[in-house]
Amino acid sequence: MATESSDPEQPRLSFFGKSDKSTDEIDNARETLLNGDHSLESYSVLSAIPPFFFPAIGGLLYGYDIGATSGATISLESATLSGTSWYNLSSVEIGLVVSGSLYGALIGSILAFTIADFLGRRRELITSSLLYLVGALVTAVAPNFAILVIGRVVYGMGIGLAMHAAPMYIAETAPSQIRGRLISLKELFIVLGMLLGYTVGSLEIDIVAGWRYMYATSIPVSLLMGIGMWWLPPSPRWLLLCAIQGKGNTEEARQTAICCLCRLRGETIGDSAPEQVDEMLNELSYVEGEKESSFRDIFEGKCLKALTIGAGLVLFQQITGQPSVLYYAATILKSAGFSAASDATRVSILLGLLKLIMTGVAVLVVDKLGRRPLLLGGVSGIAVSLFLLASYYTFLNNAPFIAVCALLLYVGCYQLSFGPIGWLMISEIFPLRLRGRGLSIAVLVNFASNALVTFAFSPVETLIGAGMLFVVFGVIALLALVFIYFIVPETKGLTLEEIEAKIL
């Protein structure tokens, strides 16, 4: 097997073990990347669905857990419906049930940092499906509270791995023309999962031990995810990265990557698969994919810039109040005189439908309008809605209609911007050789900031009041706008290699 010269002045050996291309050819490849001069990728819609659908089930299971837990906690606390002798749970114990999956997601994000590059995207998703399966099973049959919490944490570890690997797998296997649409659709699956969880919870809330059935519903879905990911091929880009880093036989990796690309693109790819694989390899060589990453590399050069963009987006996604605004949903709608809104499940379904519709809009336009317009427009709406909520809780408390409009504006604008675009950007902005570790840090920031906002909400509200709290969130939203305008780039229509060459 050919080895690469460590001397940058010596001609580099190619993937095939032959003398590499001339300096002119390398410069041409570089110019192609910088100018974005690439042909559109041929693909079959039917072939593009499975590589999106099965990873996206990981997002659906995440959303389902959020929805189902709202009903499960009601069932657990009921003396007549819990079906247990330990139903009399304290507020701390209920908090552990609700947040157990969040703690597990934090653990999963940390694990992803060390095991993601070793496992690869596909096997990480298979591992996630197994954790979902075991967590759901343990939770559903839990004989006592301690086992229940353990099951919730294990399930959450599946969430952490799925939210890390799914956007990477989709980004690396999707045609560049529809990459934004497919990754944004994953957010739609999260919302669908929430709606499914709310619906299952409302249907099974009157059943004795209904909470067990709510959590058990995840079992067949996680099996479907695991079987689907077992059937799907690995990411060709990940295979090529491993090969040029000296992990395995290069020619075998090339042939495997060609076969994987044919499965991912369908018959429309014709005889162009070898050419596309070689093009990926040339681009990876130009953007220095052959260097094995170290922990220090994550905080240097290209990856530091990508980390600033990605982690900054997911941080602002949470600290603009996303968990807290929804906390007030039932209270706001009830104060406006909507009698049906007094039922928490119906309120959740109403907001879930709005989230679904607005996410669908984002999916349809993200590859046409681009990422930046959606972020700038959506976050502007978020800022307006937060200041309206602040006004309601400060001096307009006799005008609940304003609060309802502000709540709906917040939810709609979030699903147009931070909801889908945050996950999209972190999946495509990191350099390939550091994508696994970089994205794991971004996911860790996401879940950690979510936990911080969730747990700090009550004491801060008590200290400064709801009105001032929403003012703080509104100011943070304005800072987020400045960050997006000056820091976040446009990646619409670029291949992952072009993003690395042109933007980083």
Place of tokens 């739609």: 188
Superfamily of domain 44-232: MFS general substrate transporter like domains (1.20.1250.20)
Q: Is the dihedral of CA 465, 466, 470, 473 positive or negative?
A: positive
The two structure tokens encoding residue 137: 């099973």
- pLDDT per position as a tens digit, 102-146: 899 999 999 988 887 788 899 999 999 999 999 999 999 999 999
Question: Does the predicted model carry a pTM greater than 0.85?
Answer: no
Coil, helix or strand at residue 13: strand
In the block, tokens 């000296």 appear at 246
CATH 1.20.1250.20 maps onto the chain at 44-232, 291-503
Give the integer Cα–Cα distance in Å for 403 and 386: 10
**Cα–Cα distances in Å, from 7 out to 2, 12, 297?**
15, 9, 20
| Residue 44 pLDDT | 74
Residues ≥6 apart with Cβ < 8 Å to 108: 128, 131, 156, 157, 158, 159, 160, 161, 164
Q: Residue 89 pLDDT more than 70?
A: yes
Give residue-wise pLDDT tens across range 408-438: 899 999 999 998 898 889 888 888 778 888 8
Query: How far apart (Å, rounded) are the C-alpha atoms in residues 356 and 96?
Result: 28
CA-based nearest residue to 302, from 504, 33, 34: 504
**3-class secondary structure, 224:** helix
Superfamily covering domain 291-503: MFS general substrate transporter like domains (1.20.1250.20)
Q: What are the pLDDT digits (tens) for 160-215?
A: 999 999 988 998 888 878 888 888 888 889 989 988 988 888 888 888 888 999 99
Which single residue is written with the structure tokens 């940390």?
A: 110
